[in-house]
Amino acid sequence: MGSFNSFALPANGGEFSTRTSKNQLQISAEKTNCILISKLVRGPTIRWQGARIKRAHAIKYLGVYIDEKMNWNTHLKAQSTRTTQLYQNLLKIAGKSWGVPLNHRRPRYKTVIERVLAHGAVAWCLEPTSESPETQQFNVRSSWQSRVPTGPPPRQLCRSY
């Protein structure tokens, strides 16, 4: 029995090739990564039109990192790094010596960081319950204001229909 250590995606007649040609897509082997979810020590070499496709240990798909071990360590590490950077940026915007007391800053920081960590959580958490009641009172704008939390709108601006 031969070993299965290399295979090529069929350039003509295969389902992948059919879909790419039907949708007029061109695949760049230099920019393409693949992930192998298997217990094999060394996975097969995958080729597309003679070019080798690189194997990655984790791939970011729709904001969620999927790794070959199917656990969330890679995703949580990336989100932790992103959250730390966001926290540092928030400290620059409203620093310790700017007169905003810590008990007012802390819920705002927590709200922003909670939103970052919860991004993509529906992919791996069926019933997210991380939002605490004290952080539900703040809205987070995802625009040029660097996601600065703001309070609820004034009552005179809210209309009831």
Q: Which helix (H) or strand (E) holds 73?
A: helix 73-93
Please tell me which of 82-86, 106-110, 146-150 the model is most confident about, judged by mean pLDDT: 82-86
pLDDT at 156: 42
Q: What is the DSSP letter of 148?
A: -
- Pairing label, strands 139-140, 149-150: antiparallel
User: What is the per-residue pLDDT across 27-50, written as a single tens digit (0 to 9) for each?
Assistant: 888 888 888 877 777 777 888 788
Average the pLDDT over 82-104 and give the result. Answer: 75
Average the pLDDT over 20-25 and give the result. Answer: 85
Tokens representing 15 are: 């389902």
Q: Is the predicted pLDDT of residue 159 greater than 50, yes or no?
A: no
Tokens representing 26 are: 């061109």
pLDDT at 79: 83
pTM: 0.49
Instruction: Look at residues 159, 74, 87 and name the one whose alpha carbon lies nearest to residue 116.
Output: 87
